[in-house]
Amino acid sequence: MQSKTQFIRDIKDKDPISTSFLVKFSAVATGKNGKPYMNLILMDRSGELEARIWDEVDRYAGQVVRDAFVHVDGRCQVYQGRRQVVINKISILREDEVTLKEYLAEGTLDADALYDQLMGFVDSMKDPYYKALAESVLRDDADIVDRVKRAPAAKTVHHAYKTGLLEHVLSITQILDGLAKHYGKYVDRDLLFLGGFFHDIGKLWELNYDRVTDYTTEGKLIGHLVMGVELVDRKIRELESQPGRLPGVFPEDKKLLVKHVILAHHGILEYGSPKRPKCIEALLVHMVDDMDSKVNAIRCFTEADQTPGRWTALNRQYERFFWKPDWAMGGEAPAT
CB of 285 to Fe ion, least distance (A): 9
CB of 286 to Fe ion, least distance (A): 9
115 or 198: whose CB is closer to Fe ion?
198
* Backbone torsions φ then ψ of 245, nearest 5 degrees: -75, -30
The residue within the footprint of Fe ion, chosen from 167, 200, 281, 305 (CB under 5 A), is: 200
72 or 227: whose CB is closer to Fe ion?
227
Q: Are 227 and 206 in contact (CB under 8 A)?
A: yes
- Residues between 225 and 264 that touch Fe ion (CB under 5 A): none
Site mask for Fe ion (CB under 5 A), range 145-184, x = bound: ----------------------------------------
CB of 242 to Fe ion, least distance (A): 29
Sign of the torsion angle spanned by Cα atoms 286, 292, 297, 302: positive
Helices 252-263, 224-241: axis angle to 10 degrees equals 160
Q: Are 56 and 6 in contact (CB under 8 A)?
A: no
For the chain, percent helix, then strand, then coil, each to nearest 5?
45, 20, 35
102 or 200: whose CB is closer to Fe ion?
200
Q: Are 180 and 187 in contact (CB under 8 A)?
A: yes
Three-class SS of residue 62?
A: coil
268 or 314: whose CB is closer to Fe ion?
268
CB of 26 to Fe ion, least distance (A): 28
Q: Tell me how far apart the alpha carbons of residues 4 and 10 are, in angstroms, rounded to a whole number.
A: 13
44 or 289: whose CB is closer to Fe ion?
289
167 or 200: whose CB is closer to Fe ion?
200
CB of 289 to Fe ion, least distance (A): 4
Sorted by sequence, the CB contacts under 8 Å of residue 307 that are 6+ apart come out as: 81, 313
- Residues in contact with Fe ion, counted by CB under 5 A, come to a total of 2
What is the DSSP code string of 268-281?
Answer: SGGGT-SS---SHH
CB of 266 to Fe ion, least distance (A): 6
CB of 173 to Fe ion, least distance (A): 11
Virtual torsion, Cα 264, 265, 268, 272, nearest 10 deg = -90
51 or 170: whose CB is closer to Fe ion?
170
The beta strands (E) that lie in the chain are given as: 16-30, 36-44, 47-53, 69-79, 82-93, 207-208, 214-215
Question: 267: closest CA among 252, 254, 251, 284?
Answer: 284
Rule CB under 5 A: is residue 289 a binding residue for Fe ion? yes
Sign of the torsion angle spanned by Cα atoms 47, 52, 55, 60: positive
19 or 171: whose CB is closer to Fe ion?
171
Interface segment toward Fe ion; rule CB under 5 A; list 103-111, 119-127, 196-204, 319-327: 196-204
Which positions lie near Fe ion, rule CB under 5 A? 200, 289
